[in-house]
Amino acid sequence: MNLEFTLRCPISADLDRVRRLVRLHARHSGLRRERLDDLVLAVNEAVTNVLDHGGGTGTVTARSDREGVTVEIVDAAGRLTRDHLAAARVDPTSSHGFGLWVIRHLCDRIDVEQRSEGSLLRLHVRRPPAAG
């Protein structure tokens, strides 16, 4: 099940569809159970931020490789920075503000880059070692 392939879709208000496509890609790339759910939730949070704080448009690109799955969320508005990520924390007394914290908590590696297309948030989840 070491399928190296890429899936891309535009960001729209149809969050459910983004979740389904990311799940489809990640499952075929060998992610299972918690790790599959972790990635889907992390991407969901990132796309929610594009809808909530960003320009509402951009792309989601999922890639698989030997190690696992990488998903890049590009926000065309380009305002997400490393500082937002660094500031992310969870505050149970507040009723908002933990999407970025959730992303940091669930992924094995994350990164922010500024591109001509917008700000790019890269999430990586490792595949567990193959059984047998």
- Which residues are near its own copies by CB under 8 A? 3-10, 17, 20-21, 24, 28
**By the rule CB under 6 A, 76 interacts with ligand ADP:** no
Residue 107 C-beta: closest distance to ligand ADP, Å: 14
Q: Please report whether residue 86 would count as binding another protein according to CB under 8 A.
A: no
CA dihedral 68, 73, 10, 48 (to 10 degrees): 110
Question: Is residue 96 close enough to count as binding another protein by CB under 8 A?
Answer: yes
Shortest distance (Å) from residue 45 CB to its own copies: 20
Question: How far is the C-alpha of 79 from the C-alpha of 66, rounded, in Å?
Answer: 32
Under rule CB under 8 A, residue 75 binds another protein: no
The helix (H) or strand (E) run that includes residue 36 is: helix 33-52
Cβ atoms of residues 64 and 8 within 8 Å = no
